[in-house]
Amino acid sequence: MLEKVSIEHITIGMYIEQIQANNTRTKMKKPGFIRRSETIENLRQKGVEFVWINSEAVDEELTVEQHQGPQTNASAEMAKSVSRTINVKDISIAEELLDISKKRIQKLLDDIYSNQPIDIEPISELGSDIVDNIFTRPEAVHWVSAIRNKSDYLMEHSLNVSIHLVNFGRYLGLDQQTLQDLAIGGIVHDVGKILVKDEVLNKPGKLTPEEFDHMKLHQVYSQPVLDSIEGLPETSRMVSLMHHEKLDGTGYPNGLQGDDLPLIGRMSCIVDIYDALTAERCYKAAMSPSEAFKIMMSLTPFHLDRDLLKKFIMCVGFYPIGSLVELSNGRIGFVWESDSSDLTTPVVKTFFSAREQAYRNIEYVCLKKRPDIKIIRAVSESKIGVDFSRFRSITA
Ligand SMILES: [Fe+2]
């Protein structure tokens, strides 16, 4: 798969197939890996503005260097470049999953809207894809949340709830079948929203009591739809039925209380709220994960299960991939790669100075190799008042 990358962001280790100068795209006579910074400088001097890289290609030579060491400055630089190349691949996988998932979920919603019978097969297939990807490429799947688009909220919220449920279920050690059922549950959990009035569903601001009552009806609307899906697993149904319940019995639709709200229901409540808080909507900015966790902790123990929420926080981490952080050297950037064995020292792609409120050259800071630099806080774009979304892309 080819990826377009601007000249400023070409790095050693990328495999270049095509270049673009003066709006003309040309195939390289000799496609290949960039191994020296001089090559990048040459391209720049020739007026190249963009290159098309093969994100699947991994430079074996660099991989060998990375594993054999010793870590000279040059080999460390190249090792960084290898992992960055792999990261391009992660984003491509995430984009592909997002694209396919949106089409499948859109089909599901269209079928509901036009009263067509709903086939469990494609939903189940999407569920399997999500579970498979979380086991084989968890980092890639986590990018889905970071590259979501606010205008496709319902579809992307369903996909994200599905991903978070599977990831959380895996963290809790739930069996494979339950994970698969959780994935399906996430996809269908809000199907009733398709029948909620648009002006209520997308209202910019707080709902009136009457509007809130109408919004709550999505749970009522969901029931006949779920009943009509032949072969829908019980666990999946529970995700949909219980994600608005509260431990003190004040939730809806059934006012389940305490032990009547089982693990699947409690997980669903946590995941649904987390995704809603951290999503950007046309009427509200996205919260950082840590801000969302703070609010969610304040909803315990009467609404959410405190011990389970603590586990969810451990599972997601305060600095998930794609989240924005400020470093102790004053730079702001996105968490770019993360190592599940140590969530506090990810690689951060920095591009902004918090002190000077100005853009700076892009740098990839590996906190594991830079113990002198720490993450001091998670930040949100809305608080800084700048839109950084273009830096989430490799083509920024
Ligand atoms: Fe809902």
Give 304's DSSP letter: S
- 252: CA distance to ligand 1 center in Å? 10
Q: How far is the CA of 56 from the centre of ligand 1 (A)?
A: 38
User: Domain of 30: which CATH number?
Assistant: 3.90.105
| High-pLDDT (> 70) share of the chain, % | 86
Total structural domains within the chain: 3
Looking at the domain assignment, is residue 224 inside a domain? yes
Distance 240 CA to ligand 1 centre (A): 7
- pLDDT, one tens digit per residue, over 53-90 is 876 665 544 433 333 333 334 444 444 444 444 456 67
Alpha-carbon distance 165 to 180, whole Å? 10
The confidence score (pLDDT) of residue 75 equals 40
CA of 157 to the centre of ligand 1 (A): 10
Tokens of 147: 């590259």
How far does the centroid of ligand 1 lie from the alpha carbon of residue 306, in Å? Answer: 21
Specify whether 348 is located in the same domain as 312.
no
- Please indicate, yes or no, whether residues 163 and 235 belong to a single structural domain of this protein: yes
Q: Are residues 191 and 335 in the same domain?
A: no
CA of residue 189 to ligand 1 center, whole Å: 7
Distance 95 CA to ligand 1 centre (A): 25
Provide the domain limits for residue 329.
Answer: 324-392
What pLDDT sits at residue 299? 96
187 and 235 inside one domain = yes
pLDDT of residue 179: 97
Ligand 1 mean position to 274 CA, how many Å? 12
CA of 193 to the centre of ligand 1 (A): 7
Q: How far is the CA of 128 from the centre of ligand 1 (A)?
A: 22
Distance 206 CA to ligand 1 centre (A): 16
Helices (H), the chain: 37-45, 60-68, 73-113, 120-136, 138-146, 153-171, 176-188, 198-201, 209-228, 234-242, 263-278, 289-297, 306-316, 381-384
Q: Are residues 275 and 371 in the same domain?
A: no
Q: Is 209 found in the same domain as 146?
A: yes
Q: Does one domain contain both 179 and 37?
A: no
Peptide bond into 70 cis (omega under 30): yes
Phi and psi of 287, rounded to 5°? -90, 150
Question: What average pLDDT does the segment 350-378 reach?
Answer: 88
pLDDT of residue 56: 62
Task: Give distance in angstroms: CA of 219 to centre of ligand 1.
Answer: 7
Residues 310 and 330 in one domain: no
Tokens encoding 110: 């269209």
User: CB-based burial of residue 118 (10 Å sphere; 0-12 exposed, 13-18 middle, 19+ buried)?
Assistant: buried
Torsion of CA 316, 321, 324, 329, to 10 degrees: 100
More confident residue, 232 or 359: 232
Q: How many Å apart are CA 271 and CA 313, to the nearest integer? A: 11
* Confidence label for 277 from pLDDT (cuts 50, 70 and 90): very high
pLDDT tens figures, 297-324: 999 999 999 999 999 998 988 888 888 8
For the segment 205-212, the average pLDDT, to the nearest whole number, is 90
